[in-house]
Amino acid sequence: MDHEHVREVDPAVADALENEVDRQRSTLQMIASENHVSPAVLDAQGSALTNKYAEGYPGSRYYGGCEYADEVEELAIERATELFGAEHVNVQPHSGTQANQAVYFAMLEPGDRILSLDLTHGGHLSHGHPANFTGQLYEVEQYEVDPETGYIDYEGLSDLAEEFDPDIVVSGYSAYPREIDWERIQAAADDVDAYHLADIAHITGLVAAGVHDSPVGIADFVTGSTHKTIRAGRGGIVMCDEEYADDVDSAVFPGGQGGPLMHNVAGKAVGFKEALEPEFEEYAHQVVANAKALGESLSENGFSLVSDGTDNHLVLVDLRESHPDTSGGDAEEALEEAGIVLNANTVPGETRSAFDPSGIRAGTPALTTRGFDEADCREVGDLITRVIDAPEDEAVLAEVREEVDRLCEENPLYE
């Protein structure tokens, strides 16, 4: 990965690109929403399809010369359909947020009501945060996790739905470590005659591999990201029943987007093909086994985990009990110095701020891609502990950095 063409034209950018590859190779990427896509997906994303405008959909475009764009988009749709079993798939959203935007734009009017999980309890900005367009265009009420268990408070959600009478209930989360009971949320939405949007952005790969229950066929709309656990080209996807297909397609284009990013659609097609291989199911199982091993290691070392563990690809650590004087930001910074990259995260019942919250979120999708197993992830749990126990001790950070180097060498990336 020497970016030779970029180097000829622009050495400054070539340096930054090469440094980024080195950074990914030599540190542990544990941001739960990140992964390392395959060289094939990278190749597709860097292809000449970046030049092509293809407003519209396969067979019905507003520009000429779209025959190969059509082929690629049809392949992406075909493979997504095989992976998820949805009646209708739109692979054009530029991101998970824009996939959500398409559903809101298709089904809601400004001022309509969204019921979603609070951001500090694991929700997402695009589910109704005041700083997001959703919080400004729609009326929003939020459910929470049970403060005792850390699991979604399904009863509270149903009660709020009765009280608030939403037009849409949003499920699917970005910092929630447990299985989601889609049927139960669907029932709560049905009871108040609301739509149900299940945003599987984080767990798209786990759902595709059958490692997490699928909301497809239960929720009215399923949105996702295509570059997180599923490790395909960067962007989003919307799935729905045929009855909503035209509304969703029009909401994506021309409603919310112009020309689709066809190079990314190509990356999606290639990544979906990879996800149909049996190895991907093994990968997804390993992601979860690794997150469990990481969580067990951290628990044994005295950390408090939201919901006491995990069923998926991430663990959410609440530092307040074990390390009351260390914020999530302090931990993130010290860990990065030691070569472990993750993010500070709010936790349920947050008492600090969104900018410097009380928790850290750690995911295993990227580590698993480069070959980490449960023993490696237990060791990573010990390394994280050593750093957070002594975040200002340069000697400890240097020792951990050496262990990180060894783990990276044992599990090479982009050779």
Q: Indicate the annotated binding residues for (6S)-5,6,7,8-tetrahydrofolate.
A: 119, 123-125, 242, 353-355
CB of 3 to ligand DSN, least distance (A): 25
Q: Which is nearer to ligand DSN, 174 or 204 (CB)?
A: 174
Write the CB contacts of 394 (distance below 8 Å, at least 6 apart in sequence): none
At position 299, the amino acid (one-letter code) is S
- Measured in degrees and rounded to the nearest 5, phi and psi for residue 111 equal 95, -15
> Per-residue contact track with ligand DSN, 55 to 94, x per CB under 6 A?
----------------------------------------
Q: Per the annotation, where are the binding residues?
A: 119, 123-125, 242, 353-355
93 with 99: CB under 8 angstroms?
yes
Q: Which is nearer to ligand DSN, 96 or 235 (CB)?
A: 96
Per CB under 6 A, which of residues 191..220 are in contact with ligand DSN?
A: none
Per CB under 6 A, which of residues 91..120 are in contact with ligand DSN?
A: 96
383 with 403: CB under 8 angstroms?
yes
CB of 363 to ligand DSN, least distance (A): 9
**Is 364 near ligand DSN (CB under 6 A)?**
no
> Taking Cα atoms as reference points, which of 282, 281, 298 lies closest to residue 377?
298
CB of 30 to ligand DSN, least distance (A): 11
d(CA 316, CA 202): 14
Pairing of strands 359-363, 221-225: unpaired
Give the residue nearest to ligand DSN (CB).
33
Q: Which is nearer to ligand DSN, 186 or 229 (CB)?
A: 229
d(CA 151, CA 129): 21
d(CA 183, CA 152): 13
Peptide bond into 254 cis (omega under 30): yes
At position 95, the amino acid (one-letter code) is S
CB of 394 to ligand DSN, least distance (A): 29
Please report the beta strands in 176-319, taking only residues with DSSP state E, as ranges in sequence order: 195-199, 221-225, 236-240, 304-305, 314-318
Q: Which is nearer to ligand DSN, 175 or 400 (CB)?
A: 175
87 with 238: CB under 8 angstroms?
no
CB of 98 to ligand DSN, least distance (A): 11
Q: Which is nearer to ligand DSN, 172 or 215 (CB)?
A: 172
CB of 341 to ligand DSN, least distance (A): 12
**Is 290 near ligand DSN (CB under 6 A)?**
no
CB of 33 to ligand DSN, least distance (A): 3
**Is 174 near ligand DSN (CB under 6 A)?**
yes
Q: Which is nearer to ligand DSN, 52 or 227 (CB)?
A: 227
> How many residues touch ligand DSN (CB under 6 A)?
3
Instruction: Report, in this order, helix, strand and coil percent for the chain, each rounded to 5.
Output: 50, 15, 35
Number of neighbouring beta carbons within 10 Å of residue 47: 17
Per CB under 6 A, which of residues 385..404 are in contact with ligand DSN?
A: none
Q: Which is nearer to ligand DSN, 166 or 363 (CB)?
A: 363
CA dihedral for 24, 125, 200, 110, sign (positive or negative): negative
CB of 62 to ligand DSN, least distance (A): 30
**Is 33 near ligand DSN (CB under 6 A)?**
yes
**Is 24 near ligand DSN (CB under 6 A)?**
no
For the chain, the residue count is: 415
d(CA 358, CA 280): 34
Q: Which is nearer to ligand DSN, 167 or 332 (CB)?
A: 332
Burial class (CB in 10 A: 0-12, 13-18, 19+), 373: middle
Per CB under 6 A, which of residues 142..161 are in contact with ligand DSN?
A: none
User: What residue ranges bind ligand DSN (CB under 6 A)?
Assistant: 33, 96, 174
